[in-house]
Structure 1
Amino acid sequence: MSGIVPNQPLADDAALLAFASFLHDGVPPRWRTLWFVMLDGERRALPVIVPLDHVPDEPDVRTVNELGHAWHAMLHGEPGASILLMLERPGSADASFEDHAWGVALRAAAAEQDLAVAGFFLATADGVVALTPD
């Protein structure tokens, strides 16, 4: 299972990157997909891993707000929960303005629901990289 151990906390950035890479599985993306993984208070992956295919190039307010509300509903009873996010898309590994816009919008939606974003990653045919807020 590629170094991923079930129920093991994703305790640091390297473990989060390894988990995102496991999800991506080295498959060249054909379209834009947003993945989100719910993590419990100990940063263990919950059995809620959702890929949303064909997301637009740029985030729209309605979609982002709906995601924030959905995350809140799913994690309401999970103290200290957080979210791992990955934007998977075709093209170069260079992060674009749109990639960063997704990161900003999704982090804001999570913060509005008092949820932490454990990590935000970009996955392309070249692999997976962390996108950190500037």
Structure 2
Amino acid sequence: MNLTTTPFRPGDKVADDGERLALATFLAGGVLPRERILTLAWLDADDRVTGIAVPVREVPQHPSDDDAARFGGVIASVTQQSVPGGSVVAILERPGEQSVTAADRAWNTALRAQAAQRDFRLHGLFVAAGGAVRPIAMDDAG
């Protein structure tokens, strides 16, 4: 299994779904995480890597309303203050199997709801687990 990816640098264009998946894979590093981490990375208004990436540790398995609001507030604040017009790519790193779980879907629903409520663009949500990185689509919300 080849888990190496091309490194991304600030200013690199991330133009499509394949490049967002490559970025998520790069940011996840080894995709056999031992703890739950939500890594947030911002793209500018032209879909270029900004170099802003924040790994958040101690992510609960299922997001409560307070968790969703806290994460949504952080994402909206960074976007408005540091990357106006930009978007965020989120990578949920967790131990376990690579299949998408009900908890992953709950995070998808929570972050997409926060994006709509707080007016930021969630340009992708990915799960890194079990040796793979996979996207969670809008229709995977539940």
Change (3 A) 1:32 1:5: closer
Query: What residue in structure 1 maps to residue 77 of structure 2?
Result: 73
SS in 2 for 1:93: coil
Q: Give every structure 1 segment of 4 or more consecutive aligned residues whose post-TM-superposition deviation is greater than 4 Å.
A: none
Q: Which residue of 2 aligns with 1:2?
A: 5
Specify every segment of 5 or more residues in structure 2 that has no aligned partner in the other structure, as ranges. none
Alignment of 1:1-134 (within 5 A): 2-6=5-9, 7-77=11-81, 78-134=83-139
Aligned with 2:138: secondary structure?
coil
- Paired residues in the alignment total 134
Write out per-residue CA displacement over residues 109-132 of structure 1, whole angstroms, 9 at most, x where no aligned residue: 122111111111000132100110
State the Cα RMSD in Å. 1.6
Per the normalisation by structure 1, the TM-score is: 0.91
Between 1:33-42 and 1:4-13, the stretch displaced more is: 4-13
Letter of the 2:136 partner, please give it: L
- Distance, in Å, in 1 between the alignment partners of 2:8 and 2:99 is 30
Contact 1:86 / 1:120 at 8 angstroms: preserved in 2?
yes
Q: CA deviation at 1:32?
A: 0.9
Structure 1 residue 65: deviation in Å? 0.8
Deviation at 1:5, TM superposition (A): 4.1
* Contact 1:28–1:124 (CA under 8 A) maintained in structure 2: yes
Supply the distance in 2 between the matched residues of 1:76 and 1:67 (Cα, whole angstroms): 14
CA shift for structure 1 position 76: 1.3
TM-score (norm 2): 0.87
Unmatched runs of 5 consecutive residues or more in structure 1 = none
Q: Deviations over 1:60-93 (max 9, x none)?
A: 1112112222222212154421110111111101
Q: Give the share of equivalent positions with the same residue, in percent.
A: 34
Conserved? CA contact 1:34–1:52, under 8 Å: yes
**What is the identity, as a one-letter code, of the residue corresponding to 1:68?**
G
Q: Is the 8 A contact 1:4 1:18 kept in 2?
A: no
